[in-house]
Structure 1
Amino acid sequence: MRNDDVALIQRTLAGEENAFASLVRKYQRQVHAFARRKIGDFQIAEDITQETFLQVYQKLETLDDPTLFSQWLYTIANHLCIAWFRKNQLQTEPLEDVRILRIETEPYSRYVASEHAKIAAEAQRDLVAKLLAKLKESDRKVITLHYFEEMTSSEIGEFLGVSENTIKSRIRRARQHLKKYESIIREVLGIAVGAEDRYTKDLNGGIRMKLTFDRDNLLSSLQALQSIVSQRNNTEPILSNVLIQAEGNTIACMATDAEIGIRMKVDGTVKETGSILVSAEKLADIVKTWPAEKLINFATTTDDHVEITCGDSVRKIVGFPDKTFPQFPVVDTAAFTIDGETLRSVLHKTEFAAPTKKARQTCLNGLYFNLLEDRTEVVGADGIQLALAHCEPLKLSEDKDGFIVPLKAVKEIERAFANAPEIKISLIEDQILFADADTTLTTRLVDAKYPEYDRIIPESFEGHVVVPKASIMDTTREIFSRANPKNALVCLEIDPQQIRISAKTSETDEIDGTLAAESGTGSVRMGLNAQLLIETLSHIETESVSLAFTNAMKPLVVKPIGEEGHICVLCTMLMDS
């Protein structure tokens, strides 16, 4: 291998550019891995790698012994890393020194992405660094390259310019020295080495937090947070964890995906207060293995280990300090309180009309709350359908006349507050916060201007028909199920006495059904998307509906009979004559 380097160096000095390119390809990955480990930043490591090979090319003729090329290369890379550190000594601000006011006023999700993920990574690196500091420099270098950069003994030997056997010997020596710490190092690095019970028998450090849970209560809370917790987030690993916090007599579990955050109170007994950040998936998997209606004891130590016991069963996992998790915004004392059933109702009546997949028009990716003086209009639309529902005026902000709540957050609100009698709502910068006695949910608002939806709703009609909701739903569903599966179109022929619904089963044949009208005026023949019509009708809560129309080209307006403030609009489809 060294002879190969010597030959490539000689050819490079002779003017062969391809020879130097071969040297770069041979060592580029190792140099980048080394620099990334030193600096901790992928992009900066790339810059240092490029600068390393630039200096190598410029100084190659000064290398007296070409057989020592890899050591010389490593020395240049190391000096560049040291120079970068000297140039970029930045003053850092501990998270605990950040004023709460600043945390509350900064956009929550940005704070997560820009600060806390970095702190989590630093906490992990600090733990490993303390353990590696117990090794000699030569052994520490080898262990770092082997575990952090996943380099083989052969690759490390080539990189450092020593034999493969020497590298293996150093790894064995380092492992022996750190034998009782190795499982902790691997756990922090995310390398599986077996079940958690392979950790040392006794937890290191003193007890910091002690809690007792009912197994079912804890599991229920963890499962409720699963839709928020990001299980496989490579760029923000902190988001795969849940924060368990005990203050006074209150226990809470918190999770975030950088867009939505949820804090839930959990029934349990606080024996010692504290907090810890643990893997949500791992903790849930452990708790699920234990019998229902059992008590679970949960204890953490000063060095952030966690011991979980249920009867004679004991499991141990590594946690992280709570400073690696963002501070949740506080519910404003002036928050507006809305009846829980009212909020759930307007969400149910409108969310179906918003896009199920991310729309190109950002403004449509959620429900719009139009804050009018005498009412609040909640609107969902995807370009071919619209749903609008009224509720009491939400007195939230004098600065905003409306806001858009992301559709994912809407679904989480319905799930988290399914039984809440009252819900508090407050706006904080570009976020909105919902809360009841046990749960707090915060989400970033969609940063876009909602279209003037009232232009889509016809102001006058040429006719209308009133029919039983169940009858038109059942007839449409029956016709659609027997029609050509490639065709979502159904034809509605409306007159004051009845509605005839038909759909094609082939190029020449069709199937139809008729239902009687309760009342009506005018006539029209129009095409509609059958699935959208069925979906719209399923979100109307009255027994009868009114279908109002202008002509075959204008939208159809569906209204519940006996209920004000709920309107659904469906765009018509072109039909064959």
Structure 2
Amino acid sequence: MELVARKNDLLKELSLLQGIVERKNTIPILANVLIQADKSGVSLLATDLDVGLRSKCEATVTKTGTLTLPAKKLFEIVSALPDTDIRIEEDKSGKSVTIAADRFESKMQTLPASEFPTPPQDAAQVEASLPGAALKRLISHTRFAITSEDTRYFLNGAQLVLKSNEMSMIATDGHRLALVTVKESAGKGAKSEVLLPRKTLNEVGRLIDDAGVVEFSQGENHLFFKTEGRLLISRKIDANFPAYERVIPKSNDKSIEFDRDRLAAAVKRVRLLSNERSKAVRFVMGKDQVEITSSTPEVGEAHEVLPVDYSGGAMQICFNADYVDNFLSVVETESVLLEFKDEMSQAVMKPIGADGYEYTYVIMPMRI
């Protein structure tokens, strides 16, 4: 194989593949990227057996062929090269590859392309066309609520619900739940519910162009996302997402409106003296004010008072500061609403005046 590609073209595709390649794996070939060159250009493929990404790069191909190179090291080399043409040439033995640009030249060891796993074939029929900006919002507003516990595999992803006139995504870790709905069509007749793994969500989010469209399809065991000439392949999670509707409280009879920036800043300051393990901050509701407090016996305590419009009874609710921060960091509205019933029942946070989407964030109080 011998080809010449522009640095920026090659670097862009290699950067997208970095999230796919596993740093720690027991199968050496999975640390490599598969490079296939023919007269139409260059195709690159990386996989960890659960998630794979195939992309294309414009190049002048002198000799066609297929080889593999260490993905991380190739990315580092290309990143360090000047903005010029890069030559990649396989030696006659097929055991090493020359990478050269300007006055720089290097040789890298390769592994046999025959050892690289064959990806599943893309489903022939496109099931839905997902607007890029809407899908990016769904992902950014829910992925932090996915559980990090491997044992709860049915919560190791977010549920994507497609209907003819709206798209929703739901994620939960058992302590909080994020539900966002965008009133945009995924295509006539689009109707589907599918559980998307955490890594798949992250990689789809990196591929999305706000103005573009992501074509979604699925096979028996895999999901496929195609956009801008790139194809992301994901193994399905063999599990059923829980009945999330039951978690959303319907009887919260008290509410407080906050200025989002002031609340976010107060939580950020007060949490500095919260317990490092529990990360607990307490919302102390009183007449026309909410005092946010935290304390750690061996360190100290902090509090900040926020003026609000509240005439209900005095109450204290304790929340994990991370959970509150996650919500406040993704909403764009000037004000947010906290709905609650008592100290032990689920509370709900929502943006006020959100444009084009509905966002419900259920958060369980802490018992301290």
Taking structure 2 as the reference length, the TM-score comes to 0.87
Separation in structure 2 between the aligned mates of residue 530 and residue 284 of structure 1, nearest angstrom: 37
1:530-541 matched pairs, under 5 angstroms: 530-541=321-332
Separation in structure 1 between the aligned mates of residue 236 and residue 62 of structure 2, nearest angstrom: 39
Separation in structure 2 between the aligned mates of residue 336 and residue 371 of structure 1, nearest angstrom: 8
Q: Does 1:452 align with 2:243?
A: yes
Runs of 5+ consecutive residues of structure 1 not aligned to the other structure: 1-208
Where does residue 493 of structure 1 map in the other structure? 284
Task: Indicate the percent of aligned positions where both proteins have the same amino acid.
Answer: 28
Where does residue 196 of structure 2 map in the other structure? 405
Q: Which structure carries more relative contact order (alpha carbon 8 Å, separation 6+)?
A: 2
Where does residue 148 of structure 1 map in the other structure? none
1:220-299 matched pairs, under 5 angstroms: 220-234=12-26, 236-288=27-79, 291-299=81-89
Letter in 2 for 1:568: Y
> How far did residue 426 of structure 1 move?
1.1
Q: Deviations over 1:59-83 (max 9, x none)?
A: xxxxxxxxxxxxxxxxxxxxxxxxx
Separation in structure 1 between the aligned mates of residue 285 and residue 209 of structure 2, nearest angstrom: 39
Separation in structure 1 between the aligned mates of residue 199 and residue 130 of structure 2, nearest angstrom: 21
Give the aligned CA root-mean-square deviation in angstroms.
2.9
> How far did residue 276 of structure 1 move?
2.1
Q: Deviations over 1:105-149 (max 9, x none)?
A: xxxxxxxxxxxxxxxxxxxxxxxxxxxxxxxxxxxxxxxxxxxxx
> How far did residue 532 of structure 1 move?
1.5
Aligned in 2, Cα 1:438/1:401: closer, same or farther, shift over 3 Å?
Answer: closer
Separation in structure 2 between the aligned mates of residue 509 and residue 261 of structure 1, nearest angstrom: 48
> How far did residue 339 of structure 1 move?
1.3
Between Structure 1 and Structure 2, the one with more helix by share is 1
> How far did residue 488 of structure 1 move?
2.3
1:273-422 matched pairs, under 5 angstroms: 273-288=64-79, 291-300=81-90, 304-305=94-95, 306-316=97-107, 317-321=109-113, 324-327=116-119, 329-330=121-122, 332-355=124-147, 357-372=148-163, 374-391=165-182, 392=184, 394=186, 401-417=192-208, 421-422=212-213
8 Å CA contact 2:154, 2:240 repeated in 1: yes
Where does residue 269 of structure 2 map in the other structure? 478
8 Å CA contact 2:131, 2:186 repeated in 1: no
Secondary structure at 2:195 match in 1: strand
8 Å CA contact 1:335, 1:396 repeated in 2: no
Aligned pair count reads 362
Larger radius of gyration: 1
8 Å CA contact 1:420, 1:436 repeated in 2: no
Between Structure 1 and Structure 2, the one with more strand by share is 2
8 Å CA contact 1:243, 1:325 repeated in 2: no
Separation in structure 1 between the aligned mates of residue 105 and residue 145 of structure 2, nearest angstrom: 49
Q: Deviations over 1:280-312 (max 9, x none)?
A: 2453455455x3112222234676353433345
Runs of 5+ consecutive residues of structure 2 not aligned to the other structure: none
Aligned in 2, Cα 1:509/1:220: closer, same or farther, shift over 3 Å?
Answer: closer
> How far did residue 485 of structure 1 move?
4.3
Aligned in 2, Cα 1:375/1:286: closer, same or farther, shift over 3 Å?
Answer: closer
Separation in structure 1 between the aligned mates of residue 271 and residue 100 of structure 2, nearest angstrom: 55
Where does residue 569 of structure 1 map in the other structure? 362
Taking structure 1 as the reference length, the TM-score comes to 0.57
Separation in structure 2 between the aligned mates of residue 371 and residue 419 of structure 1, nearest angstrom: 19
Separation in structure 2 between the aligned mates of residue 412 and residue 470 of structure 1, nearest angstrom: 29
Separation in structure 1 between the aligned mates of residue 296 and residue 113 of structure 2, nearest angstrom: 63
Aligned in 2, Cα 1:538/1:281: closer, same or farther, shift over 3 Å?
Answer: closer
8 Å CA contact 1:254, 1:261 repeated in 2: yes
Where does residue 210 of structure 1 map in the other structure? 2
